[in-house]
């Protein structure tokens, strides 16, 4: 029997307990809320590490032929930056919010499998620590400790023993393999919870969009992570058990790795962005004072995105020499996925239309998301057009594109989530003035950095280079890009300061600071360990709207 | 309250001035960047400055894609900006909930059908260009080159002409009336690489155990810059490319010079002895010597190239000397070992290499 159930924690009661006991409770917790917080804190730690790696790269690239770091170090840094951001920032933070919010939103007391939940978190956490241990333990042939330097896609045959002696790329392989199993565990948990633990009256068609979209994401995780795990096991077989799957010197196939990786890799980027869509689908209605425009279409479009995303993977491989028929097929599927994605953007604008838009920080980040994601989608269309892709891929144009989707969209959605749900999780509001400062500084820094970054790309600058020649028109642009990166770094520090300061000094939030409509706002902030004293019964998509507006309930119109 | 005519004129003047300053600033920055260039014909390898058929087709197509995406951007941003400005919370409406609209089937249909049509148009346009470039037939007049990617240099072989060279590709300019394009077969000796000279063609990868193809059809003579565009290891950044598009006469002269046997000038026999009795010949080939190594570039006509170490340094006496003695000073992590020669041997060797025109 967990001590969480026995004692209702109050701030006064907790102060008297030894810190070892608190630590023990957190390490052994199976409470979805605490695991959610652990995931989020873990992601913030790795965001700081990966952000520092980004700053190192941008300092090196400020000037042509710069000598801030050696090529060996730079190549490890870009590999670790990408790997960390995708696997140890993106996935943990989205599972963190899903873990915390999904049971609350569907009127449940916890996830379906609390111990699996904890196990999955610790697998993911271990993966991250193992990856970073490589800086100390991953010695290559020449003796120095080293992190993997094969890029976050770890293309074969660069990862074969011939070209990656020592153990550095093994750290990449094993860390991600283990973390992948953690993701699969959480995905199973979310699906089981949503399908079997919704409160009475909450048909699937009355479930908050946040829960729906996390259901789709979890399904995608189950399908997409397994090819990567399989490929990683095959790589281990190649490196240690005499296999030759990807060993081109023995007749193996480099393109086989590419197919395996990208069949994971493309759905993965949708796995990252759909939770940001989920945040927008909760925040925009509340801050426009209107229900989501076109709820069934939003669900359908997300399911469509989930399916189509499984069919586009080779648009990452347009330059590898596939036949014109192969290339053309992937152009078609890639363009097709733009349709449901565009529909979602239109529906969010439709939600704002005719509303009463409250321009507080969560909403500012949502509006920033819409602007940035529109541009990201359009440069995505350019990249999806294979012929145009032959000039754009492998260059800084595509680096700018995917940072638009990740820094400019995913991260904006996560920031919106922080500002919206921090009051629920901690009981205090994040500072609004600091929040607006964070938003504007980050927005400006983001655009200085990533708008300009498109230009060296079209002027011929490839990616993953530790230095470049002067006189190609890239010099000043790279300097400005680096300045934009530094500005984003400062903005993020302001955000972290806000998180810490508000924890101690923020205004008390109460149950429902935003006048919102989903079930998590019906309990205290923070919620009690058991979430709901009485499991609620709902009659519509917005149960709290019905309670606040008994003369005009949603249940009359749905 | 609308702006008076005077306000409007003032705004226009300010806007014009700002736009002018911006254009000037961009121009100054660009020229400043160009001024720092080494004297190369085409210092900026821009995809929007093509001089070869496949690159020109791509640019043409890109304008079409940019026009459509630009239009979509304008429409959606206008709607977004309008929504934020028009429907933002104002003191008059504070506290009152707006009409709770749940959706509209007609609007959903409209903004589904239009994007589907746009997607169809873009897809068909793209398919046409893919086919035109990828399925182009090789004419009998084409120059054939086999490019082999290495960590971190390019091997170029002209099988029909019996020529082997490295890093700097020479091709004849192609007259649209009587085209003489160059068709390349792309192979790799080790990891993945990518052949990218933006002004001549889109990039195509060089993948071990796989034969890829690309072609260029350059219409203007000059030197074009490019570099490897697929991460291939430590010195991916300095695996540079130079393509020299020559007049037919220049190209023939170059071919004839490349076909000559290596210079056997006995004045530099000491240097040649150094080459033949150290590990140099394990990696490098020089015609007429015992050196038949293929791990490193063929040095038979080393002095016909303007750079060494795949573009990482100019081909000068000092750089040759430095490259042999301490390659890490030029390209740390390249697979050229430091040869640890005595000064005397090193000088003799460099003098010998400089006879290899």
Q: How far is CA A299 from CA A206, A328, B36, in A?
A: 11, 29, 55
Chain A CA closest to residue B135: A324
- On whether both B46 and B148 belong to a single domain, the answer is yes
Residues of A in Cβ contact (< 8 Å) with B230 = 155, 319, 394
For residue A91, what are its two tokens? 């996935």
Residue B235 included in any domain: yes
Radius of gyration of chain A (CA): 24
Nearest C-alpha neighbor of B150 from the set B163, B167, B170: B167
What is the per-residue pLDDT across A310-351, written as a single tens digit (0 to 9) for each?
999 999 999 999 999 999 999 999 999 999 999 999 999 999
The answer to whether residues B348 and B270 touch, using CB atoms and an 8 Å cutoff, is yes
The answer to whether residues A221 and A183 touch, using CB atoms and an 8 Å cutoff, is yes
What is the per-residue pLDDT across A28-46, written as a single tens digit (0 to 9) for each?
999 999 999 999 999 999 9
Question: Is residue A162 scored above 50 in pLDDT?
Answer: yes
- On whether both B71 and B160 belong to a single domain, the answer is yes
- On whether both B209 and B329 belong to a single domain, the answer is no
Mean pLDDT score, B100-118: 96
Secondary structure (3-state) at A157 = coil
Alpha-carbon gap, residue B165 to B287, rounded angstroms: 12
Residue B137 included in any domain: yes
Residue B310 included in any domain: yes
The answer to whether residues B194 and B205 touch, using CB atoms and an 8 Å cutoff, is yes
Residue B95 included in any domain: no
- On whether both B313 and B199 belong to a single domain, the answer is no
What is the distance in angstroms between the Cα of B203 and the nearest Cα belonging to chain A? 5
Alpha-carbon gap, residue A464 to A196, rounded angstroms: 46
Kind of pairing, strands B143-150 and B212-216?
A: unpaired
Question: Strand pairing partners for B227?
Answer: B240
Q: Could you give all domains of chain A from N- to C-terminal order, each with its CATH number? A: 1-30 (no CATH), 31-556 (1.20.210.10)
Chain A CA closest to residue B36: A471
pLDDT at B2: 47
The answer to whether residues B221 and B173 touch, using CB atoms and an 8 Å cutoff, is yes
Residue B59 included in any domain: yes
Residues of B in Cβ contact (< 8 Å) with A252 = 209
Question: Per the CB < 8 Å rule, is A391 touching B202?
Answer: yes
For residue A104, what are its two tokens? 């609350």
CB nearest A71 (choices: B43, B73, B333): B333
- On whether both B289 and B233 belong to a single domain, the answer is no
The answer to whether residues A225 and A184 touch, using CB atoms and an 8 Å cutoff, is yes
Nearest C-alpha neighbor of A110 from the set A18, A222, A8, A30: A30
Give me the CATH number covering residue B307.
2.60.40.420
> Measured between CB atoms, does A378 come within 8 Å of chain B?
yes
- On whether both B190 and B305 belong to a single domain, the answer is no
Judged by average pLDDT, the poorest of A129-138, A446-455, B6-15, B53-62 is: B6-15
Residues of B in Cβ contact (< 8 Å) with A356 = 87-89, 93-94, 96-98
Nearest C-alpha neighbor of A410 from the set A265, A277, A215, A212: A277
φ/ψ region of A332 (left if φ > 0, alpha if ψ in -120 to 50, else beta) reads alpha
Nearest C-alpha neighbor of A425 from the set A39, A73, A51: A39
**Mutate which: A153, A471, A476, vs B, most B CBs within 10 A:** A471
Secondary structure (3-state) at A365 = helix
pLDDT at B263: 83
Element (H, E) at B143: strand B143-150
pLDDT at A142: 56
Direct distance between the N- and C-terminal alpha carbons of chain A, in angstroms, rounded to an integer: 41
- On whether both B238 and B272 belong to a single domain, the answer is no
Cis peptide before A502 (omega within 30 of 0): no
> Measured between CB atoms, does A72 come within 8 Å of chain B?
yes
Question: Strand pairing partners for B155?
Answer: B148, B166
Contacts of B200 (CB under 8 A, 6+ apart): B50, B51, B52, B54, B55, B216, B218, B224, B226, B243
> Measured between CB atoms, does A59 come within 8 Å of chain B?
no
Mean pLDDT score, B170-190: 97
- On whether both B47 and B117 belong to a single domain, the answer is yes
pLDDT at B91: 78
Nearest C-alpha neighbor of B109 from the set A50, A416, A346, A479: A346
- On whether both B83 and B169 belong to a single domain, the answer is yes
pLDDT at B267: 86
Residue B282 included in any domain: yes
pLDDT at A333: 98
Number of domains in chain B: 2
Question: Per the CB < 8 Å rule, is B127 touching A328?
Answer: yes
Alpha-carbon gap, residue B207 to A315, rounded angstroms: 17
Question: Per the CB < 8 Å rule, is A356 touching B98?
Answer: yes
Percent of chain A with pLDDT over 70: 96
Alpha-carbon gap, residue A392 to A463, rounded angstroms: 11
Residue that terminates a domain, selected from B242, B277, B294: B242
What is the per-residue pLDDT across B3-25, written as a single tens digit (0 to 9) for each?
455 555 556 656 656 665 665 55
Residues of A in Cβ contact (< 8 Å) with B51 = none
**pLDDT band of A2, cuts 50, 70, 90:** very low
What is the per-residue pLDDT across B214-257, written as a single tens digit (0 to 9) for each?
999 999 999 999 999 999 999 999 999 999 999 999 999 999 99
Residue B261 included in any domain: no
- Where do we find the tokens 């920055």? B29
- On whether both B178 and B83 belong to a single domain, the answer is yes
The answer to whether residues A55 and A486 touch, using CB atoms and an 8 Å cutoff, is yes
Residue B3 included in any domain: no
Q: Which domain holds residue B80?
A: 23-87+106-218+227-242
- On whether both B193 and B280 belong to a single domain, the answer is no
Question: Is residue A524 scored above 50 in pLDDT?
Answer: yes
pLDDT at B288: 87
CA dihedral A398, A401, A406, A407 (to 10 degrees): 110
pLDDT at B32: 47
Question: Per the CB < 8 Å rule, is B123 touching A255?
Answer: no
Question: Would the CA dihedral through A69, A72, A73, A75 be positive or negative?
Answer: positive
> Measured between CB atoms, does B60 come within 8 Å of chain A?
no
Helix-strand-coil split of chain B, %, nearest 5: 45, 20, 40
Residues 103-162 of B with CB under 8 A from A: 103-104, 107-108, 111-112, 115-116, 119, 122-123, 125-127, 129-131, 133-135, 151
Nearest C-alpha neighbor of B233 from the set A56, A395, A148: A148
- On whether both B161 and B196 belong to a single domain, the answer is yes
Residues 407-446 of A with CB under 8 A from B: none
pLDDT at A12: 42
């Amino acid at each position: 029997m967990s001590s969480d159930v026995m004692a209702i924690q109050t701030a006064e009661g907790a102060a008297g307990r030894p810190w070892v006991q608190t630590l023990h409770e957190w390490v052994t917790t199976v409470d979805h809320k605490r695991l959610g917080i652990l995931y989020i804190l873990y992601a913030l730690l790795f965001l700081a590490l990966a952000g520092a790696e980004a700053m190192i790269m941008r300092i090196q690239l400020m000037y042509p032929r710069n000598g801030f770091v050696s090529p060996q170090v730079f190549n490890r840094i870009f590999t670790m930056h990408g790997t960390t951001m995708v696997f140890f920032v993106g996935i943990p933070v989205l599972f963190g919010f899903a873990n915390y919010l999904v049971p609350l939103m569907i009127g449940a007391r916890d996830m379906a499998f609390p111990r699996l939940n904890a196990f999955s978190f610790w697998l993911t956490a271990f993966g991250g620590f193992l990856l970073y241990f490589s800086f100390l333990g991953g010695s290559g042939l020449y003796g120095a400790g080293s992190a993997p330097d094969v890029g976050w896609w770890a293309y074969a045959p660069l990862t074969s023993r011939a070209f990656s002696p020592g153990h550095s790329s093994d750290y990449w392989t094993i860390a991600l393999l283990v973390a992948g199993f953690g993701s699969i565990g959480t995905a199973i948990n979310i699906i089981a919870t949503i399908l079997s633990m919704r409160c009475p009256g909450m048909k699937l068609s009355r479930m908050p969009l946040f829960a729906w979209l996390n259901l789709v994401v979890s399904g995608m995780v189950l399908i997409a992570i397994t090819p990567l795990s399989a490929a990683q096991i095959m790589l281990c077989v190649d490196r240690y058990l005499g296999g030759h799957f990807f060993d081109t010197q023995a007749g193996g196939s480099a393109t086989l790795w590419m197919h395996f990786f990208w069949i994971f890799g493309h759905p993965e980027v949708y796995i990252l962005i759909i939770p940001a869509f989920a945040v927008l689908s909760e925040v925009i209605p509340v801050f426009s004072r209107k229900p989501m425009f076109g709820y069934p279409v939003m669900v359908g479009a997300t399911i469509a995105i989930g399916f189509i995303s499984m069919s586009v993977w080779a648009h990452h491989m347009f330059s590898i020499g596939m036949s014109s028929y192969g290339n053309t097929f992937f152009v078609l599927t890639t363009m097709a996925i733009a349709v449901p994605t565009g529909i979602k953007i239109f529906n969010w604008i439709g939600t704002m239309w005719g509303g009463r838009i409250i321009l507080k920080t969560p909403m500012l980040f949502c509006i920033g998301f819409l602007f940035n994601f529109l541009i990201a989608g359009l440069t995505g269309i350019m990249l999806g057009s294979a012929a145009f892709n032959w000039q754009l891929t492998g260059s800084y144009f595509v680096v700018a594109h995917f940072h638009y989707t990740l820094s400019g969209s995913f991260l904006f959605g996560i920031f919106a989530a922080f500002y919206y749900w921090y009051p629920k999780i901690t009981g205090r509001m994040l500072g609004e003035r600091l929040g607006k400062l964070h938003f504007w500084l980050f927005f400006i820094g983001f655009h200085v950095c990533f708008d300009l970054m498109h230009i060296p790309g079209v002027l011929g600058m490839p990616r993953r280079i530790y230095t470049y020649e002067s006189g190609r028109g890239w010099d000043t642009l790279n300097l400005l890009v680096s300045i934009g990166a530094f500005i984003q770094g400062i903005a993020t520090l302001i955000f972290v300061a806000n998180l810490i300061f508000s924890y101690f000094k923020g205004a008390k939030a109460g149950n429902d600071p935003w006048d919102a409509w989903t079930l998590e706002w019906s309990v205290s902030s923070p919620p009690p360990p058991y979430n709901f004293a009485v499991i609620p019964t709902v009659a519509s998509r917005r149960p709290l709207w019905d309670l606040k507006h008994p003369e005009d309930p949603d249940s009359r119109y749905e | 309250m609308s702006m008076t005519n005077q306000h409007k004129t003032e705004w226009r003047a300010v806007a014009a001035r700002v736009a002018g300053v911006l254009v000037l600033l961009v121009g100054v920055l660009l020229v400043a960047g160009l001024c720092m260039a080494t004297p190369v014909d085409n210092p900026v390898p821009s995809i929007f400055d093509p001089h070869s058929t496949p690159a020109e087709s791509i640019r043409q197509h890109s304008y079409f894609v940019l026009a459509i995406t630009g239009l979509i951007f304008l429409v959606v941003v206008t709607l977004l900006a309008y929504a934020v400005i028009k429907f933002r919370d104002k003191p008059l409406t504070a506290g009152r909930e707006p009409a709770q609209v749940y959706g509209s089937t007609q609007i959903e249909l409209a903004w589904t059908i239009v994007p589907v049509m746009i997607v169809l148009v873009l897809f068909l346009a793209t398919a046409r260009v893919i086919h035109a470039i990828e399925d182009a037939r090789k004419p009998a007049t084409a120059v054939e080159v086999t490019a082999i990617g290495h960590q971190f240099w390019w091997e170029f072989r002209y099988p029909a002409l019996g020529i082997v060279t490295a890093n700097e590709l020479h091709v004849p300019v192609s007259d649209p009336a009587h085209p003489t394009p160059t068709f390349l077969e792309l192979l790799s000796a080790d990891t993945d690489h990518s052949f990218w000279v933006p002004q001549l063609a889109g990039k195509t990868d060089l993948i071990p155990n796989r034969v890829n193809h690309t072609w260029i059809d350059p219409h203007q003579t000059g030197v074009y810059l490019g570099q490897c565009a697929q991460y291939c290891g430590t010195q991916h950044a300095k695996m540079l490319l130079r393509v020299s598009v020559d007049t037919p006469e220049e190209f023939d002269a170059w071919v004839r010079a490349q076909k000559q046997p290596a210079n056997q000038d006995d004045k530099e026999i000491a240097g040649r002895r150094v080459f033949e009795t150290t590990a140099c010949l394990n990696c490098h080939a020089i015609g007429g010597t015992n050196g038949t190594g293929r791990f490193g570039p063929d040095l038979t006509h080393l002095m016909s190239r303007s750079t060494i170490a795949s573009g990482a340094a100019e081909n000068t006496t000092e750089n040759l000397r430095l490259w042999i003695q301490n390659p890490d000073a030029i390209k740390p992590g390249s697979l050229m070992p430091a040869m640890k020669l005595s000064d005397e041997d090193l000088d003799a060797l460099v003098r010998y290499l400089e006879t290899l025109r």
